Each structure stands twice: as C-alpha cells, then as structure tokens.
Amino acid sequence: MTTSAPAYQFTDSTEPAEIRATTVLPAERRNIELITTDGMKLVGEFAAPEGRTPAATLVTLHPLPTAGGFMDSHIYRKASFRLPALADIAVLRFNTRGTCSPRGCSEGEFDGGGLERHDVEAAVQWAVNEGLTNIWLVGWSFGTELCLKYGAREPVAELIEGAVLLSPPLHRAVDADLDSWAEAGLPLHVLVPEHDDYLRPAEAAERFARIPQADVVGVDGAKHLWVGEKYVSRVLDEIAGVVLGRQTQLPTQWDGPTARAD
C-alpha cells in the first residue's frame, strides 16, 4: 500500500546551490506500508529518481529504536534527500516494529533483533515486488546487527547484492552470523569510525576477518553517530561507490530546484 508523501516546496535558483544538511533535491517520494509475514504493518517512505529507473536500491535499517533510532536517523534522511537526484539511487526507509517517527508508528513491539527478521524480509520483498534491481542492505548500528543476522540467509540472501554496514557494534550478531556471510559470498562493506563507542577499526578488522570478502574501512575522526557534514558526505560517497560499482564522489552543489526540510 502507498500513500502520498509530504510535499516539499521547491524553488529554482539562478546559480548552483550548496547542498546543506537540510537541502532536499527532487525525487519521486511516496509513503509506503510493509506487511510482515507475522501480520505487522510497518510504515516507511520510498524515494526514487524522477523519471528514471534506479541504478540501485538501498533498503535501510535504522539504529536502535530504544536509543532514539528510527527511519529519520540523519544519514538515512539525507540519503533520501540526495541520492535519487545525485546518483540515481533509490532509498527505502522504514520504522521497524514498535518504532515511531513523524511518518507514523509501525505495529508490534521491539524484540531486540529477533522478530525484526520479519521486518527485514518484508522490506526486501517489497523492493522486489516493485521490480527494483541491484538491491543492497544498509545497516547503521542496531541495523547492522539485522543485516548480519538475516541478510546472508534465505529468503533475503538470494534477493540482495550485498550490504554496507555503518558503525557495527557486533553485540547481537555472533560468529555464526558472520560465518553465514562468509559462506554466502555476498559483498560486505564495513565503515568503522575511529572513535566509535562500541567497536573501533582494529578490533573490527579482527572480528570481520571471518568473512574473507568483507572490506573494513576505518574513518579517521568519525564517531558512532557520524555527526557533521564531512562525515555524512563520506558515508554517502562510500555507499554510492559500493552499490554503483565505481569510486564515487557526489556533487556538493546542485544546479536545479531545491527545497528545505524542517
């Protein structure tokens, strides 16, 4: 099921505009609802390039809802603002069960990463049902645990191309989950902040050594929440490069209509 997404007021400029934290670029945006196999209705939003087939689709999994994580966590919100226009990448954001945001509340209750398996499966299946291709999971913090636990197992594994992890804590994901990725052979790109609160680059490299195809990248100066435009830009460049299969540096200016988010 889909409904109209909130409309942004776009205005033209006589010269290229600097892309800032609240800049919204043109995209086809719609609110969506996901229905899980255990009957929960999850709320979300899908943003796609205007009038073009997406080159890739991101299924984003947000940080821990009991610590304030939701579909509007800032990197994902900015990804939806920018990536459809700048890189032809579609972005699916949604609230996992029991999570609320301005978009609304998803049904169910937080289950610590257990029943959320159904949420991951529902989001990926929605993308497949829409005819989207080159589908990638992107997890941030708690979202990385969901990626690691369920992304390389069926029914998800055969439907995705791989995953990008941001600030993985490796609290809920265990060695058996990492081994499932090694066995599946799916690409895994791991961004680890230098000053992360839970897992730092050296330890991350050691832990992810169980997955031969995992690419672990330490990001100097960054912290768990990736606060600051410098780090947001780095994350979005990395994500775009991975899913498009080429090194990518996204533009920092936009010559066309822009809007401003609240």
pLDDT digits over 140-195, tens only? 999 999 999 999 999 999 999 999 999 999 999 999 999 999 999 999 999 999 99
Question: Could you count the other beta carbons within 10 Å of the beta carbon of residue 211?
Answer: 24
**pLDDT band for position 262 (cuts 50, 70, 90):** confident
Give the percent of the chain with pLDDT over 90. 95
Q: What is the pLDDT of residue 2?
A: 52
- The reported pTM is 0.96
Residue 59 has pLDDT above 90, yes or no: yes
Residue 119 has pLDDT above 70, yes or no: yes
Asked which of 11-20, 91-100, 140-149, 201-210 is least confident by mean pLDDT, the reply is 11-20
* Tokens matching residue 58: 């991101």
Mean pLDDT, rounded, of the chain: 96
Cα–Cα distance list, 33 to 7, 45, 46, 101, 136 (Å): 18, 8, 10, 14, 19
* Tokens matching residue 180: 């499932």
Phi/psi region, residue 88 (left: phi>0; alpha: psi -120 to 50; beta: rest), is left
pLDDT digits (tens, 9 = 90+) for 7-22: 799 999 888 999 999 9
* Tokens matching residue 90: 């579609």
Q: Per residue, what are the HEC states of the chain?
A: CEEECCCCCCECCCCCEECCCCEECCCEEEEEEEECCCCCEEEEEEEECCCCCCCEEEEEECCCHHHCCCCCCHHHHHHHHHHHHHHCEEEEEECCCCCEECCEECCCCCCCCCCHHHHHHHHHHHHHHCCCCCEEEEEECHHHHHHHHHCCCCCCHHHCCEEEEECCCCCCCCHHHHHHHHHHCCCEEEEEECCCCCCCHHHHHHHHHHCCCEEEEEECCCCCCCCCHHHHHHHHHHHHHHHHCCCCCCCCEECCCEEECC
